[in-house]
Amino acid sequence: MQKRSYSFLLVPVFCCLFSTLQSQSLTMEREEIITLTPDWEGERFPDGRPKVPDDILKRMRQISLEQAWSVLRGAGYPHQYEKGWQNINPGEVLVGRALTAQYMPLRSEIRKHHEKRGAEEGRIGDMVSWPIDMLNNGDVYVADSYGKVEDGPIIGDNLGTAIAAKSGNGVVFNGTVRDLDGLMEIPNFTSFFRGSHPSYQQQMMLTGINVPIRIGPVTVLPGDVVLGKLDGVIFIPPHLAEKVVKTGELVLLRDRFGHQRLREGKYTPGQIDARWTDEIERDFSEWMESNMDDLPVPREEIQELLKTRTW
């Protein structure tokens, strides 16, 4: 029996794939970012990323990773934390809105395509600098360079200086950096990365900017709030940022009150560690009202909290 040729069926498939590649851009469309972040109801950047207010970012700095993690887990986000980082400034805190980038091992035909599209879109220089050009003040450049060490660093002190100048922040890189001594001299460049190496990036390519990326067990979306301390980083969905801050501030106040009363000997550890009685709750409210201007929480937030107090 004569064999039939089905090559004619493959033509539309190849044409479709070719058309997709030809039209593919490095960045997601604004509408797609909005679709992926439907619970955010606030302001957005022109690119569609949620723009969590600066005040929330400022207050986020004093929230512990444990407090943030607890809120996110309770809200159904149990995979937002990654540990085991090197921190360029271990005593400092990193907070900002994520601008994401995805790197992959080189496929020359894909890199050539993206370089051509980049030129058409007016991008300047090597593609490793393209995400940096898009940074806004308050952003954190979050990149997955798949943990590559030798020939893996995607920034040194020159690009690090540019990042700090545009964003006022450091970076989170699932990969390596170079010129570590120079990076450590950059003010406000608290950064988290897997290691350092004297080489520079080779046989790599940028495949996406402001796209979902994987950092360890975490799926990071553009606009997520980054909170980094010591050797841990947590990525907070923007619609939960305010809840994380307000919950964390309440815990902070209760801890401060509890520690003070323990030092004074007014209550026992068993009383403070257990569910507070109405007497302790009243004492806590009076303490907040009396110390309102000396506490690490905005006065108006404490006043709002006092309005809701019942016991």
Tell me the domains of the chain and their CATH numbers.
30-51+84-236 (3.50.30.40), 242-307 (no CATH)
pLDDT for 16 equals: 39
The tokens for 223 are 């606009």
Is the pTM higher than 0.95? The answer reads no
**pLDDT at position 11:** 40
Q: What is the predicted pLDDT for the residue at 308?
A: 74
Three-state SS annotation for the chain:
CCCCCCHHHHHHHHHHHHHHHHHCCCECCHHHHHHHCCCCCCCECCCCCECCCHHHHHHHCCCCHHHHHHHHHHCCCCCCEEECCEECCCCCEEEEEEEEEEEEECCHHHHHHHHHHHHHCCCCCCHHHHHHHCCCCCEEEEEECCCCCCCCCCCCHHHHHHHHHHHCCCEEEECEECCHHHHHCCCCCCCEECEECCCCCCCEEEEEECCCEEECCEEECCCCEEEEECCEEEEECHHHHHHHHHHHHHHHHHHHHHHHHHHHCCCCHHHHHCCCCHHHHHHHHHHHHHCHHHCCCCHHHHHHHHHCCCC
List per-residue pLDDT tens for the chain, 311 residues long. Answer: 444 444 444 444 333 333 333 446 789 999 999 999 999 999 999 999 999 999 999 999 999 999 999 999 999 999 999 999 999 998 899 999 999 999 999 999 999 999 999 999 899 999 999 999 999 999 999 999 999 999 999 999 999 999 999 999 999 999 999 999 999 999 999 999 999 999 999 999 999 999 999 999 999 999 999 999 999 999 999 999 999 999 999 999 999 999 999 999 999 999 999 999 999 999 999 999 999 999 988 998 888 888 776 55
The pLDDT, as a whole number, for residue 309 is 64
The packing angle between helices 7-23 and 108-120, to 10°, is 50
What token pair was written down for 228?
């980094």
